[in-house]
Structure 1
Amino acid sequence: MEGATAKGVLSHLSLLEVQARSRKGQPQQQSRVKEPQQQSRVKELKAKVEALRIQREQLRAQIQIHKDLQRLRSRMNKQCADEEGENMEEDLENSKLLQLMARHTELKDLLHAHHLIGGYDIIKSDKGKGVCVSIATAYEGVFLDTFNLEIDLKPMVKISRHNIPPFIPVNGLAEQNNMQTDMTAFLDMLSQHLNAFAGRKQQLKLVQEQHKSVEVMESNVLCSVLVLLFTLPREKTAVLCTLDYTDHTRCLPTRVHFESEDKQLSDSPEWKKNWSLLMETPVHKALLTMKEMGNIV
């Protein structure tokens, strides 16, 4: 009995020793598992610190550039009229450089703001409850008319007033393009209509100024219909040309029709070329080409 008891005690002590060793080994294993995670976190933090350091250096460089500009601007403002010699020439060069740099910065800021608002000039109105939008029109690099809209933003988006011609369907375009949710789409479509109208109107003006031998028989306020009278150089036959601009977002006609006493005129290869020319080219340029080819007086 005493031998069995001793063995039982020894077995129990051995079990306790094994359990104690097992507990000592577990923290080491856990710490070994955690070590890669901690190293990864440290690397991530180091990378973030490096990125912030680079950003800090960039900001410092930008601040230094602005300080240099301010110093040059102060020097330019304090420049005396009696400065002579090389110093004056050097300051003059610095002044010109400063003006160019300042103008460049100003244009960049304006361009950035212009892109932010979708390319339209917008200013606040009515104490921030609305905006005034300006849409400029141009044709062949020449700026023409500018149109303005006042748009209320509260309690809902709506056009309060504008100076757009009545034949441009402003309210219809606003509903069609859902001005409530997509202001830019509405302004883009409105700009297309206004620029196309301004382009057609400018073409009519150029026809009247550049082609005195071509008589404008008819046109409307939208410039969507234009009737011209040509004269053939040889037979002195009159040709009536009608141009229809049914697509009001374009400056080119959608239909060209000739009328003449010579019934075979429209089917001739020569006048088929004239038809294609008027369909694909602004009318004042097409007439110039037709004159150069000797098709009209």
Structure 2
Amino acid sequence: MEKVSANGVLSRLSFLEAQSKQKTGAQPQSRVQELKTKVEELKKQRDRLRAEIFVHQNLQKLRTSMDNNEQVEMNDDSENAKLLRVMAKHTQLKDLLLAHHLIGGYDVIKTNQDKCLCFSLATAYQGDILETYNIEISVSQPLRIIRHNIPPFIPVMTLAEETDMQKNIRRFLDTLSLHLNAFTMRKQQLKLVKEQHLSVEVLETNALCSLLVLMLTEPNTNTALLCSLDYSDHTRGLPTRVTIQCEERDLSGSPQWQKNTALLQNTPVHEALQIMRKTGQII
């Protein structure tokens, strides 16, 4: 075994002690730098949050002024102030578009000191805007229909119950709009029949335009035909059942009149009559 001298042991101990001091001295130095870096990051985060709060507060002030049609003086007319105005306008438009989407695209205004909303439901046929109906609903719970100008033969209160207006007002408005548009379509078709087909006699109809009885005439024999259109589905502008009758003969077995019946059931009535007249089926 190699003999270790006292001097060698002392030298080794001195070396280990010096090495330990270097390690313990380097550790605090590294920790201090780490903390300084963390402080700088927190300062940057603080400054960013302050800037966001500033922007949010000014945007809110601008949005409030825009909603109330007021003018708000900014502290300066710098690029930042101009940018804030653009951002406020942008957020206002986004909110309006979102609200418009949520209520299904219906025009709405606040009434009764913001306690009610008045919805406008426009109707159209073949690209033409026709009647517009309005319904005012109290937004306090439970929701209540205050007033409207919807025709009395459309069951507004029944539709509100069936669609559960309290939980889904958009579903109620969509269903009501469907009934109104279908009614407008039927009424407009009846109007066009009277205007475009003078040889066709309207024998019977009703306020809802859900029943239409026409007198048609064959061109060769001048035979009268009784055409009945039943619109039992009040959400559609096309009839659910069509019958054509003739006192002189049975038309049920005629392929041509079966074709005409299908045409009347799947085509707006004024357009179907136009086709039948061009093909020589009626006068």
Q: How high is the TM-score relative to the length of structure 2?
A: 0.70
Secondary structure class of the residue paired with 2:227: strand
**Cα deviation, residue 191, structure 1:** 0.8
**Cα deviation, residue 31, structure 1:** 8.9
Distance 2:229 2:81 in 1: 60
Quote the residue 2:119 is aligned against.
133
Secondary structure class of the residue paired with 2:276: helix
Distance 2:219 2:163 in 1: 50
Quote the residue 1:19 is aligned against.
20
Residue 218 of structure 1 pairs with residue 218 of structure 2: no
**Cα deviation, residue 145, structure 1:** 2.0
Identity %: 47
Quote the residue 1:173 is aligned against.
159
Structural mapping, 1:126-165, within 5 Å = 126-165=112-151
Distance 2:271 2:81 in 1: 54
Letter in 1 for 2:271: K
Residue 251 of structure 1 pairs with residue 252 of structure 2: no
- Structure 2 residue aligned with 1:241, among 218, 227, 231? 227
Distance 1:62 1:9 in 2: 74
Secondary structure class of the residue paired with 2:219: coil
Q: Is the 8 A contact 2:115 2:139 kept in 1?
A: yes
Letter in 2 for 1:189: T
Quote the residue 1:288 is aligned against.
274
Q: Give the direction of change, closer, same or farther, for the CA distance of 1:262–1:123 in structure 2 (3 Å limit).
A: same
Quote the residue 2:73 is aligned against.
none
Write out per-residue CA displacement over residues 31-56 of structure 1, whole angstroms, 9 at most, x where no aligned residue: 99999999x99xx9xxxx9xx9xxx9
Structural mapping, 1:1-297, within 5 Å = 10=11, 12-26=13-27, 60=82, 115=100, 118-261=104-247, 263-297=249-283
Bigger helix share:
1
- Give ranges in structure 2 of 5+ residues lacking alignment: 46-50, 56-77, 87-92
Q: Is the 8 A contact 2:111 2:117 kept in 1?
A: yes
Letter in 2 for 1:16: E
Q: Give the direction of change, closer, same or farther, for the CA distance of 1:62–1:129 in structure 2 (3 Å limit).
A: closer
Secondary structure class of the residue paired with 1:154: coil
Q: Give the direction of change, closer, same or farther, for the CA distance of 1:178–1:26 in structure 2 (3 Å limit).
A: farther
Write out per-residue CA displacement over residues 156-210 of structure 1, whole angstroms, 9 at most, x where no aligned residue: 2110121212221212222232322332221111111101101101111111222
Distance 1:264 1:32 in 2: 103
Distance 1:232 1:29 in 2: 105
Distance 1:176 1:11 in 2: 95
- Give ranges in structure 1 of 5+ residues lacking alignment: 65-107
Letter in 2 for 1:18: Q
Secondary structure class of the residue paired with 1:168: coil
Q: How high is the TM-score relative to the length of structure 1?
A: 0.67
Letter in 2 for 1:251: G
Letter in 1 for 2:24: R
**Cα deviation, residue 282, structure 1:** 0.6
Letter in 1 for 2:18: E
**Cα deviation, residue 19, structure 1:** 2.2
Letter in 2 for 1:231: T
Provide the alpha-carbon RMSD of the alignment. Answer: 4.1
Secondary structure class of the residue paired with 1:242: strand
Q: Give the direction of change, closer, same or farther, for the CA distance of 1:171–1:237 in structure 2 (3 Å limit).
A: same
Q: Give the direction of change, closer, same or farther, for the CA distance of 1:63–1:264 in structure 2 (3 Å limit).
A: same
Q: Give the direction of change, closer, same or farther, for the CA distance of 1:288–1:34 in structure 2 (3 Å limit).
A: farther
Letter in 2 for 1:15: L
Residues paired across the two proteins, number:
244
Q: Give the direction of change, closer, same or farther, for the CA distance of 1:234–1:59 in structure 2 (3 Å limit).
A: farther
Secondary structure class of the residue paired with 1:119: coil
Quote the residue 2:74 is aligned against.
none
